[in-house]
A and B are shown apart, each in its own frame.
Chain A
């Protein structure tokens, strides 16, 4: 076997150390290929006596520092569940505070963000906004647009043993979408002060009062004061005829009268 010359040994050593160095850099958090990482992305929790909510963690997984502004607003949703955010920190006698209000996260660094609401004896639905900047630069005058990117973390906070909200049916609509299928749209509202998830089933009765179908209701979140549209699909074995009546079981504590419909 031919012996390696000194220059060969040095070249191999150089390459080896270079490869090891690169591997170490790639493994280090500073060189992790990532972005702004927030966990949990939404929080549902029981608040303590002091109004403290579980913290959220923000992690800078980029290879550059980032400055993050933390602010708090309030959230709700439209009838399709699309979030609606209000940027005001206080609403209807309630207050929410976050700490810290600003963070400078170095590459690989992470920090906890704490939220406290008051009063602690009622439900709250704050949203924590994490807005980041790498430093806005002032442009020469002309025409410009600026962009701001942020992550919204919605919180569902209730005191211990607080009863859930009350779902009421606001409107029902039906439509034949196929000879053997009907869509039933049920608009519900939450009249309580706490969130609630829809549950239960809808029973379809024919003109003789015989149950001809049962539709399980989807489990959808309804925040207090908000409405939510439940889209149900009924596919009976027989072609659609009518008239029918719809009875809801387990959706609301109120007794809902049977809803008559024809297709």
Chain B
């Protein structure tokens, strides 16, 4: 319609033929440019941004048991229970906690506080330190072989997960008192938190 008006007698009256053709070409070029810019604008409006990423596997230990528990003088025949000892973990991968002792069968061994070593062929308690999870678990003697404290746990999500466990020790009348003030009965427990293979 625009072109027919541009080329019409009313519009071109008094103008040369070449001038009219040039004018038509200018209008056609303008329409083509406008169409191109419009298409470019639409393309820009429909553009997209791609974000690609992955998420790292993470373990966070928020709470763990105290490092030293001094039990003082224990009475033979009187069992002591320590706990609840707590672990709080947040993770996006399945995880597990293992407990192991530095003595082969969980006994407490004579330790030299001055030299920082276990006394070779020193005294050791008759009964082992034992552990159980929660209030209703089964008491299990500690050993150097790692044991799973709470079994394999799924990813916790944003909310962390808290587990409690207890330790128990029954001093025996066969356990002798260490008279040297620089000696004590000692055991070290190692908790290893990690993802499963």
Chain A residues at the B interface, C-beta cutoff of 8 Å = 33-42, 61, 75, 77, 81-85, 127, 129, 133-134, 136-154, 221, 223
Contacts and interface: CB of A to CB of B under 8 A. Distances in A.
Contact of B56 (A35, A40, A139): A40
Nearest to B196: A81
Given A77-B197, A154-B197, A145 B108 contact: yes
B59 A38 contact: yes
The 4 closest A-B pairs by CB, nearest first: A152-B194, A35-B62, A139-B70, A37-B60
B74 interface: yes
A37 B197 contact: no
B195 A133 contact: no
**Among the interface residues A37, A42, A77, A149, which one has the most CB atoms of the partner chain B within 10 A?**
A149
Interface of B: 56-74, 88, 90-91, 93, 95-96, 98, 108, 113, 129, 146, 148, 167, 171, 178, 181-197
A36 B96 contact: no
A143 B58 contact: no
A82 B97 CA distance: 11
17 contacts: A35-B60, A35-B90, A36-B60, A38-B58, A40-B58, A42-B194, A85-B146, A127-B194, A136-B67, A145-B108, A145-B167, A146-B68, A146-B188, A147-B66, A148-B190, A149-B191, A149-B193
B71 to A, nearest CB: 4
Query: Which of B181, B183, B191 has the most chain A CB atoms inside 10 A of its CB?
Result: B191
Q: Interface on chain B toward A: helix, strand, loop, or mixed SS?
A: strand
Contacts of B60: 34-38, 61
A153 B129 contact: no
Contact of B58 (A37, A85, A127): A37
A41 B189 contact: no
B74 to A, nearest CB: 5
A81 B71 contact: no
A36 B108 CA distance: 29
Nearest to B62: A35
Contact of A221 (B70, B183, B197): B197
Nearest to A35: B62
Given A42-B93, A137-B68, A144 B191 contact: no
Given A34-B62, A141-B183, A144-B184, A41 B72 contact: no
Contacts of A82: 96, 148, 196
Nearest to B99: A147
B71 A143 contact: yes
A16 to B, nearest CB: 31
A243 B108 CA distance: 56
Contacts of B74: 143
B69 A144 contact: yes
B57 A41 contact: yes
Contacts of B96: 82-83
Given A81-B197, A142-B184, A148 B61 contact: no
Nearest to A38: B59
B70 A149 contact: no
A85 B197 contact: no
Contacts of B178: 141
B188 A145 contact: yes
Contacts of B61: 35-36, 149, 151
A149 to B, nearest CB: 4
Contacts of B197: 75, 77, 81, 83, 154, 221, 223
Given A142-B71, A146-B189, A151-B192, 11 more contacts: A37-B59, A38-B58, A40-B58, A41-B57, A41-B93, A82-B96, A140-B72, A142-B73, A145-B108, A146-B188, A147-B64
A84 B181 CA distance: 38
Given A35-B63, A83-B194, A144 B68 contact: yes
